[in-house]
Chain A
Amino acid sequence: SQQGEEDPQALSIQEGENATMNCSYKTSINNLQWYRQNSGRGLVHLILIRSNEREKHSGRLRVTLDTSKKSSSLLITASRAADTASYFCATATGTYKYIFGTGTRLKVLA
């Protein structure tokens, strides 16, 4: 069964705005990763945050992790039309068996 629930399910914003997606999970984790998927394509790894980390940055991406609330957020700043994609969080519980969240479909309007 899926471990992560993401919210919102769909998000539509204007180019230049920030996009925030949230992920909640159910059990203890070793790490949490965010992935991006363009329609009909495979997944691209964006960022990994370990359970002892609280925040991580990569370019225009900022990820936070709150293990007490079992939640993570992905912030994309200054969004571009090319950021239009589905974004998934994935959690690992020690065996590198990753369980994916329900995903957020982001549409950035030019």
Chain B
Amino acid sequence: GAVVSQHPSWVICKSGTSVKIECRSLDFQATTMFWYRQFPKQSLMLMATSNEGSKATYEQGVEKDKFLINHASLTLSTLTVTSAHPEDSSFYICSARGAAGGPNTGELFFGEGSRLTVL
């Protein structure tokens, strides 16, 4: 199956710093990527939908200035947690949807996740 790579897989940072997480589709073009957040032993909460070349669409309750999303190419979306605080500590997972018309049309593929710990 198609591969989605997330980097870094884990990161520890000090409160007040910003952290960038990358999500790459390695062998297919992804017009749409989704960012999820997961707390321990809980489900995935959709944070935002990232569309290549346009602004991300944020879910209700998600601060767009806090969680900056950029989808500059068909293979890369980034999530930047700005001025991180301990309550931002979580597991962040991205998923990518194959571009329409391609061999992976519509399928969702998930990255391995990035664990953020803010001290």
Please list the residues of chain A having a beta carbon within 8 angstroms of any beta carbon in chain B.
Answer: 1-2, 33, 35, 40-45, 88, 95-103, 105
Contact between A42 and B43 (Cβ–Cβ < 8 Å)? no
**B interface, over-half SS:** strand
A residues near B95, Cβ cutoff 8 Å: 43, 98
The interface size of chain B toward A, counting residues with CB under 8 Å, comes to 26
Q: Answer whether residue B119 sits at the interface, using C-beta atoms and an 8 A cutoff.
A: no
B residues near A100, Cβ cutoff 8 Å: 36, 43-46
Contact between B49 and A43 (Cβ–Cβ < 8 Å)? no
Which residues of B from 1 to 42 have beta carbons under 8 Å from A? 1, 6, 32, 34, 36, 41-42
Q: Which 6 A-B pairs have the closest CB atoms?
A: A42-B112, A43-B110, A100-B44, A42-B110, A42-B113, A100-B43
Contact between B113 and A97 (Cβ–Cβ < 8 Å)? no
Contact between B6 and A42 (Cβ–Cβ < 8 Å)? yes
Name, among A41, A42, A101, A105, the residue most crowded by chain B CB atoms within 10 Å (CB to CB): A42
Cα A41 to Cα B97 in complex, Å, equals: 19
Please list the residues of chain B having a beta carbon within 8 angstroms of any beta carbon in chain A.
Answer: 1, 6, 32, 34, 36, 41-46, 49, 60, 91, 93, 95, 97, 106-113, 115
Q: Closest approach, in angstroms, between the C-beta of A60 and any C-beta of chain B?
A: 19
Q: Closest approach, in angstroms, between the C-beta of B32 and any C-beta of chain A?
A: 7
Which of A1, A42, A45, A105 is in CB contact (< 8 Å) with B93? A42
B residues near A103, Cβ cutoff 8 Å: 42-43
Contact between B108 and A40 (Cβ–Cβ < 8 Å)? no
B residues near A88, Cβ cutoff 8 Å: 43-44
Q: A1-B60, A41-B112, A42-B93 are in contact. List 17 more A-B contacts (CB 8 A).
A: A2-B43, A2-B45, A41-B113, A42-B6, A43-B44, A45-B1, A45-B107, A88-B43, A96-B32, A96-B97, A97-B46, A97-B49, A98-B46, A100-B43, A100-B45, A100-B46, A103-B43
Contact between B113 and A96 (Cβ–Cβ < 8 Å)? no
A residues near B32, Cβ cutoff 8 Å: 96
